[in-house]
Amino acid sequence: MNTIPTDAVTSGPVRSGPDHPAVSGPATEPGTEPGTAAGKAAETAAGSAAGTEQAGYLDEKLAQVRAMDFLQYRSPDLPTWCPGCGYFGIMDAFYKACRELNLAHENICAVSGIGCSGRTPIFINSYGFHTLHGRSIPVATGLKLAREDLTVFAMAGDGDALGIGGGHLPHAARKNIDITFILFDNSIYGLTKGQSSSTTPYEMKTNSHPVGNPDTPLNPVKLALAYGASFVARGYAGDPEGMKQLIKAGTLHRGFSFIQILTPCVTFDKTNRTWKALKEKVCSLNLHAPAPDNMENAMRAAENEPYGTGIFYQDKDRPSYQDILRRMQNV
Amino acid sequence: MKTSDKEINIVFEICGSAGEGTISAGEILSRFMSAQGFEIMSFDAYPAEIRGFGKCVAHTRVSSNPIYSPGKLADVLIALNDNHAISQLSALKKGGILLYDSQPAKPHEEDQSVVARADAATISYGVPLTMLAQKAAGNARGRNMVALGAVTALFHLDRDAFTNSIKDRYGKKKQIVIDSNVNSFLEGFDWTKENIDKADGISFQGVTPPQTKAEQKGEKLIINGNQLVAKAALDADLKFYAGYPITPATKIMEILSKELPKHGGTLLQTEDEISAIGAVIGAGYGGIRAMTGTSGPGFALMTEFTGLSVMAEVPAVIIDSQRGGPSTGIPTKTEQSDFNAAMFGGTGDCPRVVLAPTDTTSCYDATVLALYLAEKYQTLVVILLDFFLSNSIRNIDVPQKPAPKMLNANIAPDAADLDGYQRYKITDSGISPRTIPGTPGGMFFATGLEHDAYGRPNYTDKGHLAMTAKRFRKHASVLAEAPAPVISGMDAGGADSGMGSGMGSSVGSSKGIPDKDGTPKTLDIGVISWGSSAGAAHEAVMTAAGEGVSAAAFSSMMLSPFPEKQLAAFAGRCRKILIPELNYGGQFADFVTKIIKRPVERLNFITGRPMAAEDIVEKIREMI
Is A76 inside any structural domain?
A: no
Chain A residues with beta carbon closer than 8 angstroms to that of B285: 129, 139, 142-143
Is A1 inside any structural domain?
A: no
Is A266 inside any structural domain?
A: yes
Q: Using a pLDDT cut of 70, give the percent of chain A over it.
A: 82
Q: What is the CATH number of the domain that holds A132?
A: 3.40.50.970
Closest partner residue to B271 (CB to CB) among A126, A145, A168 is: A168
Tens of pLDDT, residue by residue over B120-137, are 999 999 999 999 999 999
Closest partner residue to B275 (CB to CB) among A107, A168, A322 is: A168
Cβ neighbours, 10 Å, residue A173:
25
CB contact under 8 A, B281 and A142: yes
CATH 3.40.920.10 domain range(s) in chain B: 9-216
Dihedral angle over CA of A170, A175, A179, A184, nearest 10: 10
Buried b (16+ CB within 10 A) or exposed e, B282-308: bbbbbbbbbbbbbbbbbbbbbbbbbbb
Confidence of residue A43 (pLDDT cuts 50, 70, 90): very low
Final residue before a domain boundary, out of A67, A95, A110: A67
The average confidence (pLDDT) of chain A is: 87
Residues A152 and A187 in one domain: yes
Residues A159 and A290 in one domain: yes
pLDDT at A298: 94
Cβ neighbours, 10 Å, residue B588:
26
| Interface of chain A toward chain B, CB-CB under 8 angstroms | 1-2, 33, 35, 75, 77, 104-107, 109, 111, 121-122, 125-132, 135, 137-147, 149-150, 167-168, 170-171, 322, 325, 329, 331
| B561 prior amide bond cis, ω within 30 | yes
CATH T-level fold of B222-406: Rossmann fold (3.40.50)
Residues A30 and A141 in one domain: no
Residues A57 and A184 in one domain: no
- Number of Cα atoms under 13 Å in the Cβ half of residue B360: 29
Is A112 inside any structural domain?
A: yes
pLDDT for A16 beyond 80: no
Query: B127 versus A28: which is more confidently predicted?
Result: B127
Contact A147, B286 (CB under 8 A): yes
CB contact under 8 A, B286 and A143: yes
pLDDT at A27: 39
**What is the rounded CA–CA span in Å between residue B576 and residue B392?**
31
Three-state SS sequence of B418-449: CCCCCCCCCCCCCCCCCCCCCCCCCCCEEECC
CB contact under 8 A, A150 and B437: yes
- Number of Cα atoms under 13 Å in the Cβ half of residue B323: 25
Residues A269 and A300 in one domain: yes
CATH 3.40.50.970 domain range(s) in chain B: 222-406
Residues A153 and A10 in one domain: no
pLDDT at B132: 97
CB contact under 8 A, B279 and A142: yes
Residues A232 and A102 in one domain: yes
Q: How far is CA B577 from CA B558, B568, B598, in A?
A: 20, 12, 9
- Pick from B566, B593, B564, B563: which is nearest to B578 by CA? B593
Which residues fall within 8 angstroms of residue B451, CB to CB, at 6 or more apart?
B424, B457, B458, B463, B467
The predicted complex's ipTM stands at 0.92
Residues A89 and A62 in one domain: no
Q: How distant is the Cα of B265 from the closest Cα of chain A, in angstroms?
A: 8
Q: Hey, is A260 helix, strand or coil?
A: strand
pLDDT at B109: 81
Is A77 inside any structural domain?
A: no
* CATH, range B9-216: 3.40.920.10
Residues A25 and A146 in one domain: no
Residues A210 and A311 in one domain: yes
Please list the ranges in chain B whose pLDDT falls under 70. Answer: 1-5, 50-52, 211-219, 491-512, 515-518
Final residue before a domain boundary, out of A67, A90, A105: A67
H runs (alpha helix) in B378-491: 387-391, 461-481
Is A201 inside any structural domain?
A: yes
Final residue before a domain boundary, out of A42, A67, A92: A67
Residues A51 and A104 in one domain: no
CB contact under 8 A, A143 and B437: yes
As assigned by CATH, the class of the B486-507+514-623 domain is: alpha beta
CATH 3.40.50.920 domain range(s) in chain B: 486-507+514-623
pLDDT at A69: 87
H runs (alpha helix) in B500-612: 533-546, 564-572, 587-596
Q: How far apart are the first and last CA of chain A?
A: 38
Mean pLDDT, residues A314-331 taken together: 92
CB contact under 8 A, A145 and B440: no
Residue-number span of the structural domain to which A58 is assigned: 6-67
**Domain count along chain A:** 2
Cβ neighbours, 10 Å, residue B261:
17
pLDDT at A1: 41
What global pTM score does this model have?
0.91
Is A185 inside any structural domain?
A: yes
Q: How far is CA B20 from CA A66, B190, B449, in A?
A: 78, 22, 56
**What is the rounded CA–CA span in Å between residue B590 and residue B71?**
27
CB contact under 8 A, B283 and A126: no
CB contact under 8 A, A106 and B440: yes
Residues A225 and A277 in one domain: yes
